[in-house]
Amino acid sequence: MHPVITTTELAASLEADPRQRPVLLDVRWRLDGPPGIESYRAGHLPGAVFVDLDTGLSGPPGAAGRHPLPEPAELQRTLRAAGVRTAHPVVAYDDGDSSVAARAWWLLRWAGHDEVAVLDGGFAAWQAEGRPVTTARPRPEPGDIEVRPGAMPVLDADAAAAIARDGVLLDARAPRRYTGETEPVDPRPGHIPGALNAPSSSHVDSGGRWRERAELAARFAALGVTAGTPVGAYCGSGVTASSVVLALELAGHDQPAALYAGSWSQWSADPARPAVTGPRPG
């Protein structure tokens, strides 16, 4: 399944045989609120099930970061409750730059489920085109997905530091957080030494749609990403970094980028880990 699906393609698939319709996951979330469930209750795609980033797509915050990977058994319960079935297509959407939807995409891929895509343009594009929206909450039949973690590469802090030194480590946060001019959430400002800034917002255009393959490839090439380059990605808490992994796949990079799931929330909490401020990698 291609990692991104257009609104036209999704609309057509929703008109197909009910047994073939994709499972829709509404994963709207904002760092500063309001809670995504409020947006979901106000209107969502027909048949979509709301899955909360904080409780469904992440483990409890702690030493592993603000949004650590969920335990496989917990993720399996969440996905089955949403109706996700083995080898059955899933489409995730949010109402931002698709980075939260990319987290859902990445988790499903990590769990061994390849039939998953992100809705191009998300909820905003769907609504702008006058496509159907509802407040009715579905009651999906329980799914049977088996979560088998490990299908996507993951980094710990030491491995992230090594990739920053020997490959390319991409920081998906906004430039002002990368430089350390502001840090609204985590213990210290700055970035991992050697990391390069690749903001998640740069992977989509002003309408929230993913950029073309050639444009993405050129952006990553300018950051030193070439065939065979070891690439890792991180952000504040391992969420928006998932969009870097997806964007690299869209760009045609030969291997999946590795995700540092603990990201800056874990790194900055350890006083023994160095932090660089300013625009240079360090």
Whole-model pTM: value is 0.97
Average of per-residue pLDDT across 44-59:
98
DSSP assignment of 7-44, as one string? HHHHHHHHTS-GGGPPEEEE----TT-S-HHHHHHH-B
17 pLDDT higher than 90: no
Q: How confident is the model at residue 196 (pLDDT cuts 50, 70, 90)?
A: very high
d(CA 197, CA 223): 9
Angle at 72 between CA 230 and CA 141, to 5 degrees: 120
The pLDDT tens digits for 69-110 are 999 999 999 999 999 999 999 999 999 999 999 999 999 999
259 is catalytic: no
Nearest to 218 by CA among 246, 187, 248, 173: 248
The pLDDT tens digits for 167-184 are 999 999 999 999 999 999
Q: Which of 155, 174, 192, 235 is catalytic?
A: 235
What pLDDT is attached to residue 200?
95
The pLDDT tens digits for 118-172 are 999 999 999 999 999 999 999 999 999 999 999 999 999 999 999 999 999 999 9
State what percent of residues in the chain have pLDDT above 70: 100
Burial group, residue 141, by CB count within 10 angstroms (0-12, 13-18, 19+): exposed
Average of per-residue pLDDT across 194-206:
96
What pLDDT is attached to residue 16?
83
Mean of the per-residue pLDDT values of the chain? 97
18 pLDDT higher than 90: no
Angle at 104 between CA 228 and CA 167, to 5 degrees: 20
Minimum mean pLDDT range among 3-12, 13-22, 201-210, 242-251 = 13-22
Domains of the chain: 4-129 (3.40.250.10), 154-269 (3.40.250.10)
38 pLDDT higher than 90: yes
58 pLDDT higher than 90: yes
Burial group, residue 37, by CB count within 10 angstroms (0-12, 13-18, 19+): middle
What pLDDT is attached to residue 19?
81
What pLDDT is attached to residue 31?
85
Question: What is the CB-side half-sphere exposure of residue 200 using CA atoms within 13 A?
Answer: 24
What pLDDT is attached to residue 140?
95
